[in-house]
Chain A
C-alpha cells in the first residue's frame, strides 16, 4: 500500500478519496501528495473549486518536477463528461502523472451531485485497463452532505481520513448501483412524445420550439436538437420497442429524456472518448458533450437517458 512520502510509482490506476475538514486541513494533506508526485518526476493536474485552487496554488512550486496544471473545476462545468475527458487526455499523455480532482462540493445542483457520484464510480472502470496513475479526490466533510461522504466510500477503493490511504470494505464495484438507480420521475407537466412513427425532422422542429420557449439561448438550440436526435436514433437502434421522448423545464434547465425498454449494462456508455481506430459510434458521446448534464440509468425499469440544458 502506498502512503504519503513513499517514493515509487504505482503499477495500476489508484483512485482514492481524501476526507478532510476545512481549507487548512486540505492544504496540509494535499501539498505533500502534490510534491511527492513532483519528486517522482510526475506531471500533476490539480482540479479544484476556485477558492480551493487559489489556496493550494500558493503553497506549491508549479515549476518543479513534471510541472503542475491547475484547472478550475467550476469553470470546467457541471457535466462530468468534461472532467472525464480531461482525465483521459491527461492519463494518456505518455508521461508519468498523478491527479487531484474535487468534483463534489456545495456549488453543485442535486442532479449534478448525483451525476458526479456516478462519475466517481465509472472512473474505476474507465481507467482499470489504462495507464498506471493516482487520482486523489478530496471531500470536505465540513461542507458536503453526509450522504456524499458515504458515497465517496462506496466509489473509492482507497480512502484517506487523515492517517494515509487504506483499503476498506465499504467500496462497491458498481459504485453502489448508480446505473440501476432510477432518476426522479419527470414532472406531470412534462410533454410526452411517442417516438413510434415520428420522423426525426418533425421531432427536431418540436424540440427546437420547446427549447426556445423554455429560454434556452438561441445559439444552443442547435446543440439541443442534435443531442436529442442522437438519443432518439440510439433508442431506435438498440431498444426492442419504441421509446418515448419527454420534454420539460425546471428552475435552471430545459430537460429532454428518452426512455425505452432496452437495457444498457455498460456504465461508461456515452462517457468513453471515441475509439480512434475507426469512425463508428459517437452518438451518445456527442449528446453528452453537447449537454450541460447527461444522465443514463438502466435497470428493471428499462433505459432512461436524460439531458439538461441551461435556460
Chain B
C-alpha cells in the first residue's frame, strides 16, 4: 500500500469548527476528507491493508473511525484496533434484514453528532459492502441507497468509503455504484454517468447517457427527486440520447416533481424540444 501524508490547511466542515484534514493514498489515488468514495477492491487482504491505512491515518488526525462489515467477518475483527466502532449494519441498524436507507443514514448522522460531542475532529466511515450480500438487494436498491448516502455525506462533511469487493458483486452493480459516488478508487472502468449530490437537494448529472445506461438512471433517480422543483446541474453531461431524455421525463412525471436541468453544455434544449414530450411534462432546461 502506498501511503503518503500530505499536510493540509485547516478545513471548515459541517462540524462547525475547523478540523485538521488528512489525505491518504489508497490504491495509488488520493482520498480527501469529506468525500463519498467508491473503492473497487480485489480481495480481502487488499481491503484489510487499505482500510487499515486509511483508518489509522484518520485516527491520528483526530477523526473518529467507524467500520461497517458483516458480523463475525475476519476483516471486521482485524480492523478493531484502528476503529472506534465496528458494526454489522444488518444487526445494529437495519430492520428485519431489509435495506431501508432511513435508519442507516440516521445512524451515520447520530455517529457524526456523537463524534463531535466526544471531541473528535470528524468522522471516517469504512464500509465493507459485503454486508449487503445477505440482503439480496438488487442493483437499483443499492444504487438508490448510495445516492441518498451521498446526500448525507455532502451534508455532514463526513468521509465514507464504500468498499465493493470485485468478487462479491455483479459488474453492473459495481458500475452503478461507481456512478453515484463523487470519488472512485481502485481499478475500474469509468462509469457511463455520475449522479451525485451538490448539497441542498440539488444534484449533478455528468457523463454520457445512452440506451445502455438509461435504465439505471431511471431506476436510481426517484430518491434524488425529493425537492420540488429539483435542480440538476448538467454542465458536465457530455451526451444524452432519446432513452436518456425519456428516463429523465419519466422520473419527473412519476415523482410529480418539476425537474430543472441547469447549464447544459450540449444542445440539450433543442434536442429536448425535438422529442415533443406531452405538454405538461415537468422538465425545464435552464441556462
Residues of A within 8 A of B (CB): 199-201, 204, 219, 222-223, 225-226, 229-230, 233, 236-237, 273-274, 276-280, 282-283, 285-286, 289-290
Given A201-B208, A233-B210, the answer on whether A282 and B276 have CB atoms closer than 8 Å is yes
Interface centre among B239, B242, B253 (most CB of A within 10 A): B242
A222 proximity list for chain B (CB < 8 A): 239, 266-267
Task: Give me 5 A-to-B residue pairs in the complex whose CB atoms sit less than 8 angstroms apart, sorted by A's number.
Answer: A222-B239, A229-B211, A276-B278, A282-B246, A283-B241
Contact at B274–A229, with CB atoms within 8 Å?
Answer: no
User: Which one of A223, A274, A282, A289 lies within 8 Å of B267 (CB-CB)?
Assistant: A223
Interface centre among B246, B249, B250, B266 (most CB of A within 10 A): B246
Cα–Cα distance between A223 and B271 once the two chains are bound (Å): 9
- In this assembly, does B243 line the interface, its C-beta being within 8 Å of a C-beta of chain A? yes
Contact at B250–A279, with CB atoms within 8 Å?
Answer: yes
Residues of B within 8 A of A (CB): 192, 208, 210-212, 239, 241-243, 246, 249-250, 253, 266-267, 271, 274-279, 281
Chain B nearest CB from A190 CB (Å) reads 24
Cα–Cα distance between A222 and B265 once the two chains are bound (Å): 11
Chain A nearest CB from B196 CB (Å) reads 20
Chain A nearest CB from B225 CB (Å) reads 15
Contact at A279–B246, with CB atoms within 8 Å?
Answer: yes
Given A233-B211, A279-B253, the answer on whether A204 and B239 have CB atoms closer than 8 Å is yes
A229 proximity list for chain B (CB < 8 A): 210-211, 239, 241
Cα–Cα distance between A225 and B267 once the two chains are bound (Å): 12
Cα–Cα distance between A258 and B208 once the two chains are bound (Å): 22
Chain A nearest CB from B117 CB (Å) reads 48
Q: Looking at chain A's contact residues, is the secondary structure mostly helix, strand, loop, or mixed?
A: helix
User: Which one of B212, B241, B277 lies within 8 Å of A230 (CB-CB)?
Assistant: B241
In the complex formed, the residue of B with least CB distance to A200 is B210
B279 proximity list for chain A (CB < 8 A): 276
Cα–Cα distance between A273 and B278 once the two chains are bound (Å): 11
Cα–Cα distance between A243 and B212 once the two chains are bound (Å): 17
User: Which one of A199, A279, A282, A286 lies within 8 Å of B281 (CB-CB)?
Assistant: A279
Contact at A226–B276, with CB atoms within 8 Å?
Answer: no
In the complex formed, the residue of A with least CB distance to B208 is A201
Cα–Cα distance between A283 and B241 once the two chains are bound (Å): 8
User: Which one of A219, A283, A290 lies within 8 Å of B243 (CB-CB)?
Assistant: A283
Contact at A286–B271, with CB atoms within 8 Å?
Answer: yes
In the complex formed, the residue of A with least CB distance to B265 is A222
Contact at A233–B278, with CB atoms within 8 Å?
Answer: no
B271 proximity list for chain A (CB < 8 A): 226, 286, 290
In the complex formed, the residue of B with least CB distance to A233 is B211
Cα–Cα distance between A204 and B281 once the two chains are bound (Å): 29
B267 proximity list for chain A (CB < 8 A): 219, 222-223
Cα–Cα distance between A221 and B241 once the two chains are bound (Å): 14
In the complex formed, the residue of A with least CB distance to B266 is A222
